[in-house]
Structure 1
Amino acid sequence: MAFRSNISAAPRDEISAAIVEGASLNTQLIWQDVLPPLGLNKRTAHLPKLTIAGAELNRIIEGLKASGVDYPRMTATIGEFILNPAIRGQEIGIPLEDEMDYAHLFSLETFYARQLGQNMLSLTLEYQTALTIFSTANFGTAENSKVAYTDALIDTISLVADILAALNRVRDAGEEPDTVIIPALVLERCSQGKLVKEWVAGQLAPGSEVTATSLENAINRQGYQVKVKVGRAMYNSAPKGKKTLTRIWSNSYIWVGRAGYKNVAGDAGIPILDGVGATAYWESYGLYVGETYEDKPKDQQVVRGKVSGNPTIFNANAGTLIATQYA
C-alpha cells in the first residue's frame, strides 16, 4: 500500500538544512565539572565512609607519655554510604509519513536519537545536578549575603566578601574548596557593582571588567586555587506543545565547595573519593542509552532515551551555600 505525501508540509527541494530552535542555547553545561560520572559495577554500591569525627581523622598527638602508663587510645568507627543510580527515560514517536516527507533531506529518527541521547539527557543531568547542589537539604541553611543582590543596592554588593567567607566555612568544615558556582544573572549584576569592580580590578588593572576569569584570578590572589563556574543552562518547562524557557541554576544561591569526585590514592594505596559527590551510574546499564523500535499499531518509529546517572552528595562538608537575596 502506498503512503500519501503531505505536499503542503514537505520542505522545498532547494532547502538543504533544518531550522532548529534553541540549537545553540545550552553549549556551556557544567554538571560534569561539579558532579562528574562515577561508574558502579552494581546497581547498589556500599562504600565505607570515614568521617573526621567517627574515624578520628586530622588529629594531632597531644601530651607526653609518662613512664609505666598506657598510651591513650582512640577507637575508629567506620560508616557506610550507599550509592544508587536513578533511571529516567523519555520516548518520542515519529510518524512514518513524516519520516518519508523529510527523508530526502535528513532522518527524523537520527535527529531525535541525537536530541535524546546527547542533548536532552545531558540537560537532564544538568538540571538534576543544580537541584542537588543548590539544596539546603544537602548543605544546611544558606548564609545570607552581607547585602541583598538587588539593583537598588548594586554599589554595595559584597560578592567577594561573601565568597571569601564561604571559602573559609568550607575549610572550617575540614575540606579545601576549589569551585565557585554562580548563576549567570547573578554574576552579571554583581559585575556592575562598585565594590566588586574595585576589589577585582585592584591596583593592577583599574577599570577592567569583572568576568568569571577575572573574579577567579582575584580570589586566587588570596592563596586559593578555585575555578569559577557560571550556571547558564535553560530548559523548556512548559506543558507539551508549549514553550517557556526556565533557568536551571536558580538566582537564589551561590555554591562554594570542593567539586567531586577525585579518585586519588590514599594511604596504603587505598583509593579515596575526594570531593563533594558524583553522578553515580550503573556501568552495565550505561550513563546514556539510546534505543529505537517500531510501533506498528500507530505506524511510528519510536526513539527512546534513558539515563541512569544520579547526582549524589556523599560529603556535605565539602560545600556551602550563599543566599544571594536576588530580586
Structure 2
Amino acid sequence: MSGNEERFQQAMNQGHSAAWDQLWDRAAAFYRQALEEFPDHPKTLTSLGLAMYQLQDYKEALRYYQQATKVIPDDPVPFEKVAELHERLGNLEQAADIFMKAAELYAKNRDVDKAIEAWTRVTGLNPENLMAHSRLAVVFERLGRKQQAVTEYLAIASLMQHSGEIPKAVQTLTHAIQVLPGSNEAGQALAYIKSGQLLPKPIRPRGVTGPLLMAQVKKLEKSKTADSAAPGLDPIEAARQKALTDLAGILFEQEDPEEQSARRGLQAIVQGTGQLFLKADHSKIVLHLTQVIDLQARGKSAEAIDELERAMEAGLDNPAADFDLGLLMSDVGRLESAIRHL
C-alpha cells in the first residue's frame, strides 16, 4: 500500500533540517517516520543510515545501508558504506568483498577514481586479493600511470609465484617491463623468479590500522565470551570491551593530520572531534595503541599499562584510554592508581 506523500516529505524535510544542525537523534526519529510511509525509499534508508552512523550505532547503520543495496543494487555508494561499516565493526573479510563490489559498480559507472579508491581499500584489507591487484594494474596502465601499474604487476607476479603458477608470473613481469622499459624492480623480480627465489608477498599499506585493531578487539571479545560459562561478558569485561572498541575506533578518524583535516573539514570541527590528534604524535599513538590491544589480548596487563601510558604521553586524550588504564591497573593490583582513572 502506498504511503502518504505529504507526511513523507514533511518528515524528510524535518530530518534533513535536524541533520544540518547536527541533531542526529532527532534526524533519525524523523527519518523513521518517513520510512513508515515508504519503507523502501532509498534516500530515506541512506539518510537514516548516516544518522545512525553519526550516533555511533554502527550495527543499525549497517542494517539500513544493507537494505538500501537491495533497493538500488546498481548504486555503488550504499555498498561502499556497507563495506566501511564492516571495517568499523572488525569484519575485514566482508569489508573487502563488498569494497570489491562497490569498485566494480563504480567502474561500470565510469567513475574511475572511486573505483581505484575502492580496489585500493580491498588490497589494504587483503593484500593477497589477486583480482583487486589485477584490476588496478589494468586501470593504471590505461591511464598511463606506469609506475603504479608496474607495482601492481609485481604484486600479481608474487601471488602467482607463491601459488605455483610460475609461467604466468614470468608472463606478468615480462608485460610489466614492456609497460615500463628499464624498470629495475620488474627486471630484478623476473631474475628472482627465473633463479627460483621467492618474491616477497604484498604487504598492507599504511592507513589500515583501525580496521585491523577492530578485528583484533572483536576476536578478543569472542575469546572472552567462549571462556565464560555464562552467556555474554560480565559487566567489567563488557566495559573493558567497550573501552577497547572506542580506542580502536579512534584510529578510523585519525590518519595523518593533514589528510584528516582535508577530508573531514568543517563537519569534524563542528562535532568537536577535528583537533584530537593535531597536536599529538600520531605515529607514536598508533604504535602504542596497537601494542595495548595486542598485549591485552594476550593477558599481559603490566606491559599494556606501559604502552597505554606512552600513548597518552604522546598526546592521546580520550576517556576510553583513562578507563582502560584504570581497569589494567586494577588487574595488576594497583588499586589506588586505578581509582584515579576510573
Instruction: Judge same fold: TM > 0.5, yes or no.
Output: no
Q: TM-score, normalised by structure 1?
A: 0.25
- Whichever structure has more helix as a proportion of its residues is 2
Q: Which has the higher contact order (CA 8 A, sep 6+)?
A: 1
Q: TM-score, normalised by structure 2?
A: 0.24
- Which is higher, the Rg of structure 1 or of structure 2? 1
- Whichever structure has more strand as a proportion of its residues is 1
